[in-house]
């Protein structure tokens, strides 16, 4: 009888698990003994560490994603969301992009739905806040920053100008620090094309609730990063929380208040909402309760990994693996191998990986790294950041495209055009139709 493996989510864990299963179960797939399905609202996997560079225009948005159907020809890809998991009945409810929801049965499930932005009930956050988890958000952010430079250049009103040129990022982990540093670099670069905007006219504010930035690279390199950001004129407010931002009026816990047109929220993540719509056990932080073998605790035929799963860190007893790509990719490999072992009736193995540190890009030719205890800053760290991520991007095709983008940006300067119009492609046509009905 055919075994159906269903993977919920085609991100890091979903893509890499399916890639390995596709290779290791080559014969079983060909003979119809095994079937694999991935369900994801998108038809591509997003390489999230490249989102800040996509926002800054160093990389084309198409090149920071890997098309699932092309990379996984032996896997069925369904686009839409899993809205419910009834594991007791071995079925999920699938809501396709268009049309009625339907139930899909499986023999084995892999929960790989990742995370969403962890927000707080802050007044006004939905008015101006934007996250940084998707290509859509990265590109909207880029268009927004460039559009606001256009606005500032074209207005006579100093209030409008000040508000347009004030950018706030909340959360100083790698997503927040990298996107702020990359956007600041891009905006600084772009000011040469504007007559009335100097780099010092643009206000960048980084708000962080704890006392440190970039904990991923350790205290020493975090301190160095903080100094670097401040030297670049970025206001870094530590030990400070966003209290409200109604209508773009930003109020911080240190008593300061100002208007801003843009606020990027990168203050942590929480598991995808689908984990709450399932009968799988959750841990105290709302993640799927997972064993060291990447099975769902006390549940047969269910596996989980990545940001949505609470995976015990066997190298650090009592702790869990942090939600990052470093773990997600390695967990996917062990998870796929454990599925193969389960199908063959073999003993499963534990997931064991000691966090090796991190690399972060801080704009063109600037970076910080702390990997295997080797601490780098400036150009060497930036170079390491690029080579490391290049080695990690799935498929040769994407690697080549990324290198071409970087090379073009090196010789021809990056593109600094806002294509915000793409977010409202029908406005012009609608206006034209309206004139014929008058
Ligand atoms: C800006 C940014 C920079 C980062 N930089 C780094 C870095 O430098 N180093 C590092 O190690 N980590 C980094 N990370 C973290 C890393 O990207 C994540 O930890 C990793 O993507 C987690 O993998 P995942 O498979 O669990 O989730 P994801 O890769 O997010 O994949 C989850 C997938 O599930 C899909 N999905 C969600 N809900 C459903 C549903 N209901 N039904 C079906 N599908 C669903 C989503 O569409 C998505 O495709 C960064 C993250 C961000 C946002």
In ligand 1, the atom with minimum distance to the C-alpha of 51 is 1
Q: Ligand 1 center to residue 48 CA distance, Å?
A: 6
In testing the pocket of ligand 1, which one of 40, 43, 44, 48 has its CB within 8 Å of the most ligand atoms? 48
For the chain, report the end-to-end CA distance as a whole number of angstroms. Answer: 65
- Minimal-distance CA residue to ligand 1 atom 51: 48
For residue 17, what are the CA distances in angstroms to 72, 135, 209, 346? 11, 22, 35, 18
Helix (H) or strand (E) holding 349: none
Q: What average pLDDT does the segment 8-14 reach?
A: 97
Task: Give the residue, out of 66, 85, 110, 114, with the most ligand 1 atoms within 8 A of its beta carbon, to mutate for a pocket test.
Answer: 114
Q: Which CATH class is domain 3-47+65-116+270-343?
A: alpha beta
Kindly report the pTM of this predicted structure: 0.92
Q: Say which DSSP state 282 is in.
A: B
At 436 the three-state DSSP class reads helix
Nearest ligand 1 atom, CA 324? 19
Per-residue model confidence as pLDDT tens digits over 19-69:
999 999 999 999 999 999 999 999 999 999 999 999 988 888 888 999 999
Please tell me the distance between residue 12's alpha carbon and the centre of ligand 1 in angstroms: 6
Res. 419: pLDDT tops 80: no
Alpha-carbon distance of 155 to 153, in angstroms, equals: 6
Nearest CA to ligand 1 atom 24: 114
Q: Which atom of ligand 1 is nearest to the CA of 11?
A: 31
Q: Are 82 and 101 in contact (CB under 8 A)?
A: no
pLDDT over threshold 80, residue 226: yes
Reported as a single tens digit per residue, the pLDDT across 328-382 is 999 999 999 999 999 999 999 999 998 888 889 998 888 998 888 889 899 898 8
Residue 303: its pLDDT value, please?
98
Tell me, in angstroms, the distance from the centre of ligand 1 to residue 250's CA: 29
User: Mean per-residue pLDDT for 283-311?
Assistant: 96
CA of 118 to the centre of ligand 1 (A): 13
Q: Using CA atoms, how far apart are residues 106 and 98, in angstroms rounded to an integer?
A: 22
For 87-108, what is each residue's pLDDT tens digit? 999 999 999 989 999 999 999 9
Backbone Cα Rg of the chain: 23
Please name every residue paired with 377 in a beta bridge, in sequence order, or none if there are none: 368
- Residue 333 CB neighbours (<10 A): 16
Using the atom order of ligand 1, give the atom closest to the CA of residue 327: 11
- CA 294 – CA 313 distance, rounded (Å): 11
Of 343, 363, 349, the C-alpha closest to 409 is 363
> Which atom of ligand 1 approaches the CA of 360 most closely?
8
From 40, 225, 354, the mutation candidate for ligand 1 (largest count of ligand atoms within 8 A of CB) is 40
pLDDT-above-90 percentage for the chain:
73
Whole-angstrom distance, CA of residue 391 vs CA of residue 325: 13
pLDDT at residue 438, as a whole number: 67
Q: How is the chain split into domains, by residue range?
A: 3-47+65-116+270-343, 125-267+359-411
Determine the pLDDT at residue 394: 84
Q: Is the pLDDT of residue 397 over 90?
A: no
Q: Whose CA is nearest to atom 3 of ligand 1?
A: 49
Residues within a 6 A CB radius of ligand 1: 8-14, 39-42, 48-49, 51-52, 81-82, 112-114, 132-133, 174-175, 272, 274, 306-308, 323-326, 328, 358
Report CA(52)–ligand 1 centroid distance (Å): 14
Ligand 1 atom 31, closest CA: 11
Ligand 1: distance of its center to the CA of 308 in Å?
9
Least Cα distance to 221 among 360, 364, 316, 322 occurs for: 360
What average pLDDT does the segment 127-148 reach? 92
The confidence score (pLDDT) of residue 206 equals 97
pLDDT tens-digit map of 174-211: 899 999 999 999 999 999 999 999 999 999 999 999 99
Distance CA 247, CA 259 (A): 9
Please report the pLDDT score of residue 427 as a whole number: 81
Backbone angles phi, psi at 214, to 5 degrees: 45, 60
Span 421-438, average pLDDT: 80
Closest atom of ligand 1 relative to the 305 alpha carbon:
26
Contact criterion met (CB below 8 Å) for 177 and 236: no
Give the torsion sign (CA, 42, 46, 52, 55). Answer: negative
Q: Same CATH fold, 125-267+359-411 and 3-47+65-116+270-343? A: yes
* pLDDT for residue 81: 97
Atom of ligand 1 minimally distant from the CA of 82:
42
Pick from 174, 362, 368, 387 the residue to mutate for probing ligand 1's pocket: most ligand atoms within 8 Å of its CB.
174
In whole angstroms, give the CA distance from residue 100 to residue 85: 17
Please check the confidence at residue 435 and state whether its pLDDT lies above 90.
Answer: no
What mean pLDDT value characterizes the chain?
A: 92
Say which CATH class 125-267+359-411 falls into: alpha beta
Report helix, strand and coil shares of the chain as percent, to nearest 5. Answer: 40, 25, 35
Residues in the chain: 438
Task: Identify the H or E element spanning 343.
Answer: helix 325-343
């Amino acid at each position: 009888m055919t075994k159906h493996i269903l993977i919920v989510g085609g991100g890091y864990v979903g893509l890499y698990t399916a890639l390995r299963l596709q290779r290791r179960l080559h014969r079983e797939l060909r003979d119809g003994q095994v079937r694999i399905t991935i369900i994801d609202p998108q038809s591509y996997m997003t390489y999230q560490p490249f989102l800040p560079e996509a926002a800054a225009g160093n990389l084309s948005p198409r090149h920071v994603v890997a098309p699932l159907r092309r990379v996984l020809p032996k896997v069925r890809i369904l686009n839409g969301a899993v809205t419910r998991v009834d594991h007791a009945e071995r079925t999920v409810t699938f809501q396709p992009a268009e049309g009625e929801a339907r139930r899909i049965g499986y023999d084995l499930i892999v929960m790989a739905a990742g995370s969403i932005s962890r927000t707080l009930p802050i007044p006004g956050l939905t008015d101006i806040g934007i996250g940084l988890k998707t290509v859509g958000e990265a590109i909207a952010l880029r268009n927004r920053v460039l559009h606001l430079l256009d606005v500032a250049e074209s207005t006579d009103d100093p209030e409008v100008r000040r508000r347009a040129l004030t950018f706030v990022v909340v959360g100083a982990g790698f997503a927040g620090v990298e996107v702020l540093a990359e956007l600041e670099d891009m905006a600084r670069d772009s000011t040469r094309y504007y007559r009335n905007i100097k780099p010092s006219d643009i206000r960048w504010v980084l708000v962080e609730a704890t006392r440190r930035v970039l904990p991923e690279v350790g205290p020493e390199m975090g301190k160095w990063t903080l100094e670097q950001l401040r030297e670049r004129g970025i206001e870094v407010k530590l030990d400070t929380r966003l209290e409200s931002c109604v209508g773009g009026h930003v109020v911080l816990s240190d008593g300061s208040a100002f208007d801003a047109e843009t606020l990027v929220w990168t203050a942590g993540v929480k598991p995808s909402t689908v984990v709450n719509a399932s009968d799988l056990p959750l841990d105290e932080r709302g993640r799927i309760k997972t064993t060291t073998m990447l099975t769902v605790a006390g549940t047969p035929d269910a596996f989980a990994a990545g940001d949505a799963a609470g995976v015990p860190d066997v190298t650090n007893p009592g702790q869990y693996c942090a939600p990052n790509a470093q773990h997600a990719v390695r967990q996917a490999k062990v998870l796929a191998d454990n599925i193969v072992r389960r199908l063959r009736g073999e003993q499963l193995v534990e997931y064991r990986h000691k966090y090796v540190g991190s690399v972060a890009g801080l704009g063109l030719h600037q970076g910080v790294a702390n990997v295997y205890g080797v601490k780098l800053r400036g150009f060497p760290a930036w170079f390491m950041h690029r080579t490391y991520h290049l080695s990690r991007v799935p498929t040769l095709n994407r690697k080549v495209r990324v290198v071409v983008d970087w090379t073009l940006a090196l010789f021809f300067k990056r593109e600094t055009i806002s294509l915000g119009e793409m977010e409202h492609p029908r406005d012009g046509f609608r206006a034209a139709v309206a004139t014929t009905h008058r």
